[in-house]
Amino acid sequence: MRAVAKHEAEILEYERKGGMGIRHDFFGERGVVDQNPQAFLIERPYPNPVINPHFHDIDQFQVVVGGTGRIGKRPVKEIAFHYADAFTPYGPIIGEEDGISFFTLRNCSSGGHWSMPGNKQHMPGRAGRNVAQLFDTDIFGLKEGEIKQKFLIEPFDDGLQVLAYYLGPNAETDAIVSESGGQYHLVGSGFLWDGDKQLPKHTLMRVERGEAPAHYKAGPDGASILCMQYPAPSERPGSDPSKMERDGYSDAQKAGN
pLDDT digits (tens, 9 = 90+) for 114-133: 999 999 999 999 999 999 99
Q: What percent of the chain has pLDDT over 70?
A: 95
Where do the DSSP E strands lie in 208-256?
215-229
What span, in angstroms and rounded, lies between the C-alpha atoms of 165 and 149? 4
What's the mean pLDDT in 164-188?
Answer: 97
Burial class (CB in 10 A: 0-12, 13-18, 19+), 144: exposed
Q: Are 46 and 101 in contact (CB under 8 A)?
A: no
Q: Is the pLDDT of residue 64 over 60?
A: yes
- Between 135 and 30, the more confident residue is 135
Q: Is the pLDDT of residue 244 over 90?
A: no
CB atoms under 10 Å from CB of 152, counted, come to 18
Nearest one of 240, 251, 234, 182 to 57, comparing CA atoms: 240
DSSP secondary structure code for residue 230 in this structure: P
Check residue 131 and give its pLDDT.
Answer: 94
Q: Look at 2-6, 30-34, 104-108, 166-170 and tell me which has the smallest mean pLDDT.
A: 30-34
Residue 254 binned pLDDT confidence (cut-offs 50, 70, 90): very low
**Which domains, ranges and CATH numbers included, belong to the chain?**
2-133 (2.60.120.10), 137-229 (2.60.120.10)
Classify 207 as helix, strand or coil: strand
Q: Is the pLDDT of residue 250 over 50?
A: no
Q: Is the pLDDT of residue 31 over 90?
A: no
Average pLDDT, the chain: 93
- Between 175 and 254, the more confident residue is 175
Classify 189 as helix, strand or coil: strand
Residue 248 binned pLDDT confidence (cut-offs 50, 70, 90): low
Check residue 34 and give its pLDDT.
Answer: 86
- DSSP secondary structure of 123-187: -SSS---EEEEE-----TTPPTT-EEEEEEEPPPTTS-EEEEEEE-TT-EEE-----SS-EEEEE
Distance between alpha carbon 191 and the CA centroid of its chain, in Å? Answer: 19
Check residue 247 and give its pLDDT.
Answer: 61
Q: Is the pLDDT of residue 189 over 50?
A: yes
Q: How would you classify the pairing of strands 183-194 and 172-174?
A: unpaired
The H or E element that residue 94 is part of is strand 93-106
Predicted confidence (pLDDT) per residue in 78-100, tens digit: 999 999 999 999 999 999 999 99
Check residue 30 and give its pLDDT.
Answer: 85
Check residue 91 and give its pLDDT.
Answer: 94
Give the Å distances, CA to CA, from 256 to 17, 22, 91, 191: 13, 16, 14, 35
Check residue 228 and give its pLDDT.
Answer: 98
Check residue 17 and give its pLDDT.
Answer: 86
The dihedral through the CA atoms of 187, 189, 193, 197 has a sign that is: positive
Nearest one of 202, 228, 167 to 66, comparing CA atoms: 202
Check residue 245 and give its pLDDT.
Answer: 73
Classify 92 as helix, strand or coil: coil
